Amino acid sequence: MIKNRNKWISTALITCFTVFILAACSSNDNESGSDEGGSTNSDSIVVWAWDPNFNIAAINLAEEHYEEEGFTLEIQENAQDDIVQRLNTGLSSGTMNGMPNIVLIEDQRAQSFLQSYPDAFYPLGDYFNTEDFAEYKIPPTSLDGEQYGLPFDTGVTGLFYRSDYLEEAGYTHEDLVDITWEKYIDIAKDVKEETGHPIFSFDPSDFGIIRMMIQSAGTWFTTEDGEINLENNEALKESLEILHQLVDQDLVSLHNDWSGFLASFNSGEAATVPTGNWIVPSIEAEESQAGLWKMAPIPRLSTEGSVNATNNGGSSFYVLNIDGKEAAAEFLGATFGSDIDFYNDLVQEVGALGTFIPAAESEGYQFENEFFGGQQLISELSEWMEDVPAVNYGLNTYGLSDILVEQFQQMLNGKSVEDVLSDAQTQAENQFR
């Protein structure tokens, strides 16, 4: 009997144990299931950029050149202003919630981000060699000797023009080489008269054209020391006067956003596009105009020291200090940071001119662009790139631009350029003290 009882107890125990194990197993299953669910989003690297024809196309090309297992890129297109605003709100809140892994920032704005949020960015110095890049790209992309940005495009400018319109107005290519803005106004008048086309399209809210003009003279809204430098800035004064003449004499058309800008030359309205080389892919997007476009150097100011080369736009990649930063930095270092083949494809397929010096030797840079009548765009641009005067963009490039934009409206109403500059100086000193 005792033996039997023991048997019963043991079987009962085994039953309980079995049930317990079953329950335990199943609860484990649930846990592991929920773990998997959480990790699905973290492995794709998010990039913010703004130009599908240019920098987004470049990133896509880089992804094709990058052969890392399990690496996925998610590119989110946003307007540049939107990116700037989102970055500002995101970084100042400090949560980093919804921030991308990689963001493209224009060089002229970079310092304001780096200085305001030094911990938000991940140093990239270990991922590429800064000596491989054009020297003028390094100061805007670094802070206190630490490299934060990986230089992307040069932003070197050209005067892209419709050769057919200019010819109609009686100008040849030689007539456009190494001219001043004064001469450009004369040409604009002739073009308007002969063809009815405005010389270029102007966005009253964007002073990129003014920034191009003053940098060609080696000056900026601020001095080397960061002092606000509007009043008594001869180059700025001349630039505003030139712009005033162009608008006042009805030589320009107007647009108020990017699509309006694209439409201004894709529609065949504007005769020239004086801006950074990054516009080339957008010009080429209108295939019906192939062969009608040419490129000349940007006009210079009559101010002393001004050259026929300047910079507009030009941006660099930054990695935010969040999960996935190593993967993002490795991706950038392996492509934009060192891959000559990639740069070779980049100039030919996208038409983007990087600042990676070793790539200049590659055959892609000698590429003759049929859209521009066989002109060696890249080769010429990279020559001009060397002539771009280096300036310190300082912290408030866009803030100061906005003040000038507002003042320029008053100038159109008849305010003198001297008053405009002195008022702008006062306003800026109050605002950015």
With CB under 8 A as the contact rule, the residue among 82, 175, 326, 387 that binds other proteins is: 82
With CB under 8 A as the contact rule, the residue among 78, 88, 289, 392 that binds other proteins is: 78
202 binds other proteins (CB under 8 A): yes
Helix (H) or strand (E) holding 26: helix 2-38
Task: Give the interface segment with other proteins, choosing from 24-32, 104-112, 340-348, 363-371 (CB under 8 A).
Answer: 24-32
292 binds other proteins (CB under 8 A): no
With CB under 8 A as the contact rule, the residue among 15, 72, 116, 431 that binds other proteins is: 15
- Considering beta carbons, is residue 26 or 32 the nearer one to other proteins? 26
- Taking alpha carbons only, the member of 238, 377, 384 closest to residue 311 is 384
Interface of this chain with other proteins, residues 375 to 414, rule: CB under 8 A: 405, 409, 412-413
The string over 246-255, giving b where at least 16 C-beta atoms fall within 10 Å of a residue's C-beta and e elsewhere, is: bbeeebbbeb
Tally of CA atoms within 13 A in the half-sphere of 386 that contains its CB: 7
For residue 298, the minimal CB distance to other proteins (Å) is: 21
- Considering beta carbons, is residue 210 or 327 the nearer one to other proteins? 210
With CB under 8 A as the contact rule, the residue among 92, 93, 129, 205 that binds other proteins is: 205
Radius of gyration of the chain, Cα coordinates, nearest whole angstrom: 28
Binding mask of the shown chain, residues 252 to 271, with x at each position contacting other proteins by CB under 8 A: xxxxxxxxx--x--------
With CB under 8 A as the contact rule, the residue among 204, 208, 218, 373 that binds other proteins is: 204
For residue 200, the minimal CB distance to other proteins (Å) is: 11
> CA-CA distances (angstroms) from residue 396 to 26, 113, 232?
60, 10, 19
Q: Which residues contact 124 (CB under 8 A, 6 or more apart)?
A: 147, 148, 149, 150, 319, 329, 332, 333, 337
- Considering beta carbons, is residue 22 or 177 the nearer one to other proteins? 22
- Taking alpha carbons only, the member of 292, 240, 290 closest to residue 410 is 240
Helix (H, G, I), strand (E, B) or coil at 328: helix
Q: Report the C-alpha gap between 42 and 327 in whole angstroms.
A: 11
Q: How many other C-beta atoms can be found within 10 angstroms of the C-beta atom of residue 109?
A: 20
For residue 1, the minimal CB distance to other proteins (Å) is: 8
Q: What residues make contact with other proteins under the rule CB under 8 A?
A: 11, 15, 18-19, 22-23, 26, 29-30, 50, 77-79, 81-82, 198, 202-205, 246-260, 263, 405, 409, 412-413
